[in-house]
Amino acid sequence: MSILEINHIEKSFGQAHILRDISFEMEQGQTVAIIGSSGSGKTTLLRCINFLETPDSGTIRVNGDVILDAAVDKNLTDKEKRDRRLHFGMVFQSFNLFPQYTALENVTLARKLMAREREDYKANKKAINQEIDAIGEELLRQIGLYERKDYYPHQLSGGQQQRVAIARALALEPDILCFDEPTSALDPELTGEVLKVIRSLADKNMTMIIVTHEMAFARDVADKVIFMDEGVIVEMGDSNEVINNPKQERTKQFLSRYTNEGM
């Protein structure tokens, strides 16, 4: 059974038809890269999956359960959206770290807030928070920033901030981790460290969807590549196949822009 199954997603903003009949699925432990030029709808697709936008029609299933059916879930309450989106983690292009919290606090905040809803919270407050701190520290160690755990975001480089943002998303143990152009806001010399972290997650079989402009990275890390243009999926398949031997004319045209960049 597929871990994620997207069926016939449609989304318009006013007159602009952004997503047209988007369907795909992915397996546990897979990494899917979504490529395409800006305005192709790939970011909107990711936002629909994360409940930041509500599709006009279509369904989303996780592990076979329907978590969104646009036909019936037009007006989800905040609480319902909250519960359902926890299947997913999200890493933003512009990091969106909380500036007034340290790296460690950024990673642990949401989990600590969630722990307050536990029935045994009052009795074991201290132990629970210590446990969450330990988890946070371990995550920071994994991304190589344990020494910077007490730094505030503005004291970190862009690449370091994005790595903290990845740890923050991982702290909630999502089924699927989504990246929206995670390196686009970074200086070129800083992209490497972020890609390295994502690559290490792939090696641990984390299920991930990555919207990216890094073609070489998509080819090497992703199991599957989806090429989108003007709101439709033009081509989809094994990453080596799609990037090295595209079948569709539009895919070839798009990829030709990247061939000079030492892919």
- Positions in the binding site for other proteins (CB under 8 A): 50-52, 78-79, 81-82, 85-86, 88-90, 92, 94, 96-100, 109-110, 113-114, 152-154, 168-169, 172
Maximum Cα–Cα distance across the chain: 63
Kindly state the smallest distance separating residue 255's Cβ from other proteins, in Å: 30
Identify which of residues 79 and 204 has a Cβ nearer to other proteins in the complex. 79
Kindly state the smallest distance separating residue 77's Cβ from other proteins, in Å: 11
Identify which of residues 209 and 215 has a Cβ nearer to other proteins in the complex. 209
Rounded CA gap, 33 and 224, in Å?
Answer: 6
Contact 158, 187 (CB under 8 A): yes
Kindly state the smallest distance separating residue 240's Cβ from other proteins, in Å: 31
Compute the chain's Rg from CA coordinates.
19
Rounded CA gap, 194 and 86, in Å?
Answer: 23
Please name which of 52, 132, 36 lies closest in space to residue 92, comparing C-alpha atoms.
52
Q: Which helix (H) or strand (E) holds 31?
A: strand 31-35
Identify which of residues 166 and 225 has a Cβ nearer to other proteins in the complex. 166
Kindly state the smallest distance separating residue 199's Cβ from other proteins, in Å: 22
Identify which of residues 82 and 257 has a Cβ nearer to other proteins in the complex. 82
